[in-house]
Structure 1
Amino acid sequence: METTKTHTHDCTNNDGHNHSHEHGHGKSPVILFFIGLVLFIAAFFMQEQSFLQNISFLTAMLLSGYHIILEGIVDTVNESEKQKKFIPNVHILMTLAAFGAAIIGKYEEGALLIIIFAAAHFLEEYAEGRSKREITNLLKMNPTEARLIQPNGIVKIVDVSDLKIGDKLQVLNGDQIATDGVILSGNTSIDESSINGESIPREKTVGDEVFGSTINGNGTFTMEVTKDSSETVFAKILQLVNQSQSNLSKTATKIQKLEPRYVTIVLIVVPLFIALGPVVFNWTWDESFYRGMVFLISASPCALAASAVPATLSAISNLAKRGVLFKGGSYLANLAAIKAVAFDKTGTLTKGKPVVTDFYFILNSGKQTEQQYIDIVVAMEKTANHPLANAILEKFTATEILNLSVDNKIGTGLVTNYKNDTYQIGKPEIFSSVTSQVNAHKEIYAKEGKTVVYFVKNNEVVGVIAMMDVPNENAKPVISYLKSQGIHTTMITGDAELTGRAVGDQIGIDEVAGNVLPENKAAIVKDQQERYGSVAMLGDGVNDAPALVTADIGVAMGDGTDIAIDVADAVLMQNDLTKFSYAHKISKRLDRVVWQNIIFSMFIVVMLITLNILGKMDITIGVIAHEGSTLLVILNGLRLLIPSKE
C-alpha cells in the first residue's frame, strides 16, 4: 500500500492554560522566589538595622512572596465578586501578617514568614503533582494519529478525531493503536497495560477486539473502527482520571469550605485582640500590635488546609499504579466505612468458565480402557462449540486422534458411531435408565453444585463427567480479610442455591443469594443496606449495572470494559480480587492520616495562640513552628504513596 501524509495546522489555543485557582504558577514565581531567598541571606551580612538591610529584607519579601501576595489579594477580590460576599483565603492572612511585621520594623521576620510560607506552598504543589503523576501519565498516552486506508487502497495519516465508525486502519509493528476496533486481517501481540495494567502482551487475531492507546507488537494488521474516539475505553479512563482529581473526599471538601469562614473569623478577631491587649493584658500598643501579628500567623489554617488533599491524591495515585482507578477521593474515603460487600459470582468470585473437577468411567471386564473412552469423548467434543466442551477438551488429552462424524441433536446431545457402537454425550435428564452406581456418583457431584454430563455407549451410561465454575484463587483470602475487618460478605448468583452454596462454602462467604435474576440484584443490595449500612458491590459491570449503581460504592471487575467504567465508582483494571482488599487497606490508611493531620494542625494552632497570649513566643518562633507544621502535614500525606503490604 502507498502511504501519504497530510500536514494540518491547528491554530486553536491548546496550551492547556487553566485560569481557575489551581496554583499553576509556572517558572517565573520560582525564579523570583530564589532571587528573594538569595537577597534574604545576603541581608544578614549587612549592617544590622541599617536602611540597606531593611530594604533588602523588604525586597526579599516582595520577590519571594510575589505569587502569595497576588493570590491573597486578587483571588480574594475575584472570589468575593463572584459569590457576592467576602471570601478571603489563607494567603491574605500571610500577606497581612508580613506587611504588619514590616510596619512595626520587623522586616526580617516579615521576610522569613513569606519565604517559609512560599516554600511550603511550592512543596504542597510538588506533593500534589507527585501524587497525580501516576494517573496523569495516562494523558500523555492518548493517541493522536491513525493510518487510514482510503477506498483506493492508499494509506493516509490523519488525526484520530477525524476517524468515523467503519473506517479501515492499517496498524504497523510498534504502532500505538488509534482507537477501539476489531481486527480484519493479520495477527499480532498487543501490550494492553495502559488499559488493564497487565504486563504480558495479548495474542490477537482476526475477529478480536483491540483498544485505543495500546501498543502493537511485531505483527501488522488491518482493523475496522467500532467506536468514536471520544467513546473508547481509554477515553473513558481519561474521564475517570479527571474526575478523580476534582472529586475530593467529604473531609477535604469540608476543609475547603471551612477555610474562607475560618479566615474571616481570624480577620475579625485580630483587630479585637490588638484593641483589647492594653486593656486585658496591660500591653503597650506596640506590644499589642506585635502580639496581634503573631496571633495572625499562629491562627492561620495553613496546615489544616493541607491536611486532606495531598493525602487523598497520594492514595489515589498509589492505587492507580496498581490498576485500581477511583472516580474520586470521596469514593475511596467512603470505602473505609463499608459494613457489607456483595459479590457477583460468575467472573468475580469464580473464574467465569467451567472446568472438569471429577470424572468416572465404568469399564466392562477390561474390554475397553479408560483412555479409549477419553479418545472418543475428545473426538466428539472437538465438534462442539460451547463452554462445557472447552472444559472437557482442556481436561482430557487424546492419545489416538479419531475423525468422527458427530451430530449435535437437541434433546439427545452429541451422537456418533464408532466401530459399530453408538456413543452419546448429554445431560442426565435425557437418559431415564441408569445404574445405581452411576446415580450415586451423579448425586454426589450434584450436591457439590457441579454440572454433570453422561457418556453413553449403546444406551448404557458408562461415564460421568462433573464440571463447575471453580472459585477465583484470590477469592478465599479476600473474603477472609473482609471477615477479619467485621465486614459481612454476600454472593449473588443466578445459579441454583445449591451451586452457589458449593462455591460459597469453598471460599468461606457469609451468605449466598441464589436463583437471582439480574434485575433483582439491586433489590438485594438495598436489603443489605437496610440490614448493615454502607454496602459495596463488586460485579462485571454489564448485567450487574443496576446493583453497582445502587450500592454505596460500586466496583467493576473486568479488564477495563467501557461499561464497567461508566457505571462503577471504581474499576479493578485486572480481574484481581486482592486489589479490592488492598484498596480497603489504603482507604483505612487515608482516614487515619487525614485525622492525624487535622488533630496535629489544630493542636499547633491552639498551642501557638496560647504561648502568644502568655508572652512566651516571638514572631520568628511562630513562623517556624507554624510553617513547619504545614510541611510535616504535607509529608505525612505523601506517605500514602508508599505501598501497603498486599
Structure 2
Amino acid sequence: MGEIKEHHSQESHSHEHNHDHGKMPIILYFIGLGLAIIALFLDNGNLLLKNILFSIATIAAGYHVIILEGIGETIENTKIKRRFTPNSHILMGLAAIGASLMGNFWEGTLLILIFSGAHFLEDYAEGRSKREITKLLEMNPTTARRIMPDGNTQTVDVSELKIGDHLQVLNGDQVPIDGIILSGTTSIDESSINGESIPKEKSKGDGVFGSTINGTGTFTMEVTKESKDTVFSKILQLVNQNQDNQTKAASVIQKFEPKYVNLVLIVIPLVMLLAPFLLDWTWSQSIYRGLVLLVAASPCALAASTVSVTLSTTSNLAKQGVLSKGSTYLSQLADIDAIAFDKTGTLTNGKPEVTNYYFADSVNEENIIDIIVALEKESNHPLANAILEKFEAKNKIDIEVTNQIGKGLTGDFNGKNYRIGKPTSFDDVSDEYIDLNNEWASEGKTVVYVAEDEEVIGLIALMDVPREQAKATIDYFKKLGIHTTLITGDSEMTGKAVAEQLGLDEVVANVMPEDKSNIINQQKQKYGVTAMVGDGVNDAPALVNANVGIAMGDGTDVAVDVSDLVLMQNDISKLVKSHKISSKMNRVIWQNIIFSMAVVAFLVVVSSLGLTDIAISVIIHEGSTLVVILNGLRLLTTN
C-alpha cells in the first residue's frame, strides 16, 4: 500500500477505462437482469428457452464490462506493453462460458450479473473526477481600455494588447493584463494571484497583475507582458498541463489483477492437458474439472471486495462534511508521505484580527478608541473591519475622514488632526513604538500607528490568526511521520511566524502560483505521495499537481472544482477524520482481498480433489461475496 506513487505512461494506461458510453451499458445490464429473472421463473419444461434467456442475459449484462472493456482493453494494453496483459474481466467471461458449457447457464449468468453490477457500483463510487476549469476561464480578463494617441480610450480585446500600450483602469475594474502603474494611486485585491485577502496599496511604479480587482482608485498603466505570458495565464496553463499529466494511481485490486489472471490462464489449460497423463483422468473428466477450477478460481468476491468499502467510506465522509470525487483519492490520502498547506484561508481564518494594541500613558484610552472607531467606520479596508470588531466606541462621534493611499486615514476632531497609517508613513517616531513595531512585525503581524498631530501616540497589531483546529491537525500528521509544509505567497516573516505557532516542518514563502506547483513536484520526488490543501485560485495548479488535492469548502469555486476532496464548513479537523477513515478503508480492502483469495484457494483445492461441483462452488462464491460486502458496510458508522 505504501508503494502507491504517481503512475506514468503505460503502467497507468492499462487501468484508465473510458466509461463514457452514455446510458447504454446500464440499460443493457438491466435488460440482462430482467431476462435472468424471467428465466428463473420458467419451469424445466422450458429448459431450452431458459438457457437461451440466460445466455442472452449474460451477453447483455456483460457486454460493456466483459466485451468492450475486458476484450477491448486486453487487446489495447497488450499492444502497448507488447506482452499479453489480461484483466479479471476476461477471467469472469471465461468462467461464465465454462459454466454454460457444463450446462450451468444460471451460474454463469449470476457470475456476470454480480461482476458487472459491482463494476457499475465502483464507477458510481468513483464519482466525478473530471477537473472543471470553467470558472477559472471566466476569471480571465477579456477587454481593456486602451489610451489612444489623442487621449481618448477605446475598449479592445485583451489579446490585441501589445507591450508598451497604455491603459486606463477605473475603480472596481478587473486589471486586464500585467503591467506597471504610470499615474494614480489605488488598492488592489490580488487574492487570485497570491491568495492574500488584504488588498495591496499601489502607486506609480508598482507592478499590477491581470485578473486582480482594482479598488476605489483610478490609474493608468503600461503593459509589460503579452496576454499569454501574464501570471494568471500561467495559472491556466499550469492547471491544464498538470491535468493532462495526471495519471490515476492504480488501486490495490488493479495492481493485483493482471498477475492473478495470468496465473489462472496458465494453470487451468495445464491442468486440462496434463491431468490425463499424471492423474489418470479421462479427457472429459479433465476438461470438466478444469472448467470447475476456472469457476472456482474466478475472483467474484475479489471483484466486490472494494465496492461496498468505497461506497460506505464515501457516504460516511459525506455525512461528516467531506466530499470525495473518487475512492482512489481516498486510498492515496491514507498513503501520503507529505502534506502541504496554503496559509491564508486554509491554516488561518482568512481575515485579520487585532492581536495587540498599545497607547501612551498620557492618552485617554476611551477617547482615542472613540476617535479610532470614528475614523475606521468611514473606511472599507479589511483592516478597518478587524479594528471595528475589536474596539467599541463609548461615545459616537462624527469625523470627516480622508483616505489617502500611502498615508492612511486622517480626520480632525476638537481642533486636532488624527491619523492611522502604516509605520513607514511616519517620521520621528520614538524608540518605544519602533521597538514594539519590530517585535510584533517579527511575529508576522501587520502594524499601524495612531498619531495625534503627526505625533505617534499608539499602535495596533493585526494578524490573520491560525484556525482553532489547525495545530491539532498538524500535530496529527507529524506524529505519523508525514512531512508538513506551509506554502504561502505572503512574506517569509509572516509565513515563519505561522509555521512556528503550528509546528510545521517546513515553510516556503513569497511564492507565485507556478512556484507552488513546482514545490509540489519537489515534494513528490523527495517524499513520495503528496497532498496539497488550499482554498484560492492561486492554489489551483498545486491542487491539480498533487497526488491528492484538498480544498476548503468555503474557498474559491476554482479550488473546489479542481480538487479531489472538499472539506465543508472550512473545518480543517475534518482532514484528520478523512485520513483516519481512508486508512481504515484500505485495511478493510486488504481484509476482503485476503478473505476472497482464501475462499478461492479453498475452492481450488476441493475442486481439484473432486469434492465439489460447480453449483456448490457458485454458492460458496456468492456467500463469500456477501461476507465482503457486509464487512465493507461497517465503514458506514466509522468515526
Q: TM-score, normalised by structure 1?
A: 0.66
After TM superposition, give the deviation of residue 417 of structure 1 in Å: 1.6
Q: Does 2:343 align with 1:345?
A: yes
| Alpha-carbon distance in structure 2 between the residues aligned to 1:470 and 1:400 | 30
What residue number does 2:57 align with? 67
- Cα 1:514–1:426 change in 2 (3 A) is same
SS of equivalent residue, structure 1 residue 524: helix
| Alpha-carbon distance in structure 2 between the residues aligned to 1:390 and 1:502 | 23
Q: Does 2:609 align with 1:614?
A: yes
What residue number does 2:136 align with? none
After TM superposition, give the deviation of residue 393 of structure 1 in Å: 0.9
What residue number does 1:124 align with? 118
Q: Any unmatched runs of 5+ in structure 2?
A: 1-18, 79-83, 130-242
SS of equivalent residue, structure 2 residue 457: strand
- Cα 1:383–1:308 change in 2 (3 A) is same
| Alpha-carbon distance in structure 2 between the residues aligned to 1:496 and 1:531 | 25
After TM superposition, give the deviation of residue 385 of structure 1 in Å: 1.9
- Cα 1:634–1:445 change in 2 (3 A) is same
Decide whether the 8 Å contact of 1:478 with 1:578 is kept in 2: yes
- 1:409-488 to structure 2, matched below 5 A, reads 409-488=404-483
SS of equivalent residue, structure 2 residue 58: helix
SS of equivalent residue, structure 2 residue 489: coil
Decide whether the 8 Å contact of 1:249 with 1:328 is kept in 2: no
Q: Does 2:29 align with 1:34?
A: no
| Alpha-carbon distance in structure 1 between the residues aligned to 2:508 and 2:283 | 75
Using CA pairs under 8 Å that are at least 6 residues apart, name the structure with larger relative contact order, 1 or 2: 2
* Deviation per residue, 1:8-46 (Å, 9 max, x gap): xxxxxxxx995688454465444443344445xxx7xxx
- Cα 1:289–1:550 change in 2 (3 A) is closer
The count of corresponding residues between Structure 1 and Structure 2 is 496
- Cα 1:626–1:249 change in 2 (3 A) is farther
| Alpha-carbon distance in structure 2 between the residues aligned to 1:74 and 1:522 | 38
After TM superposition, give the deviation of residue 56 of structure 1 in Å: 6.2
After TM superposition, give the deviation of residue 390 of structure 1 in Å: 1.1
Q: Does 2:505 align with 1:501?
A: no
Question: What do you get for the CA RMSD once the two structures are aligned?
Answer: 3.9
| Alpha-carbon distance in structure 1 between the residues aligned to 2:429 and 2:333 | 53
* Deviation per residue, 1:574-625 (Å, 9 max, x gap): 4332333333234323322333333332222222212222333333332222
Please tell me the residue identity of whatever aligns with 1:258.
P
What residue number does 2:93 align with? 92
Decide whether the 8 Å contact of 1:252 with 1:309 is kept in 2: no
- Cα 1:24–1:583 change in 2 (3 A) is farther
Choose the corresponding residue for 1:293, options 287, 291, 294. Answer: 291
What residue number does 1:547 align with? 542
What residue number does 1:273 align with? 271
- Cα 1:299–1:336 change in 2 (3 A) is same
SS of equivalent residue, structure 2 residue 102: helix
After TM superposition, give the deviation of residue 276 of structure 1 in Å: 3.2
| Alpha-carbon distance in structure 2 between the residues aligned to 1:130 and 1:81 | 22
What residue number does 2:254 align with? 254
* Deviation per residue, 1:439-495 (Å, 9 max, x gap): 454344233322221222233332221111111222112112211221111112233
Q: TM-score, normalised by structure 2?
A: 0.67
What residue number does 1:379 align with? 374
After TM superposition, give the deviation of residue 376 of structure 1 in Å: 0.6
Please tell me the residue identity of whatever aligns with 1:291.
R
Which of 508-517 and 398-407 deviates more? 508-517
| Alpha-carbon distance in structure 2 between the residues aligned to 1:73 and 1:423 | 80
SS of equivalent residue, structure 2 residue 277: helix
SS of equivalent residue, structure 1 residue 332: helix
| Alpha-carbon distance in structure 1 between the residues aligned to 2:294 and 2:628 | 20
| Alpha-carbon distance in structure 2 between the residues aligned to 1:248 and 1:443 | 48
What residue number does 2:304 align with? 306
SS of equivalent residue, structure 2 residue 281: coil
Decide whether the 8 Å contact of 1:69 with 1:92 is kept in 2: no
| Alpha-carbon distance in structure 2 between the residues aligned to 1:531 and 1:606 | 40
Please tell me the residue identity of whatever aligns with 1:277.
A
| Alpha-carbon distance in structure 2 between the residues aligned to 1:73 and 1:384 | 67
Please tell me the residue identity of whatever aligns with 2:333.
L
Decide whether the 8 Å contact of 1:248 with 1:329 is kept in 2: no
After TM superposition, give the deviation of residue 357 of structure 1 in Å: 1.2
- Cα 1:119–1:96 change in 2 (3 A) is closer
- Cα 1:114–1:516 change in 2 (3 A) is closer
| Alpha-carbon distance in structure 2 between the residues aligned to 1:510 and 1:65 | 61
After TM superposition, give the deviation of residue 296 of structure 1 in Å: 2.1
What residue number does 2:332 align with? 334
| Alpha-carbon distance in structure 2 between the residues aligned to 1:455 and 1:268 | 83
Decide whether the 8 Å contact of 1:359 with 1:466 is kept in 2: yes
Choose the corresponding residue for 2:484, options 480, 489, 499. Answer: 489
- Cα 1:508–1:58 change in 2 (3 A) is farther
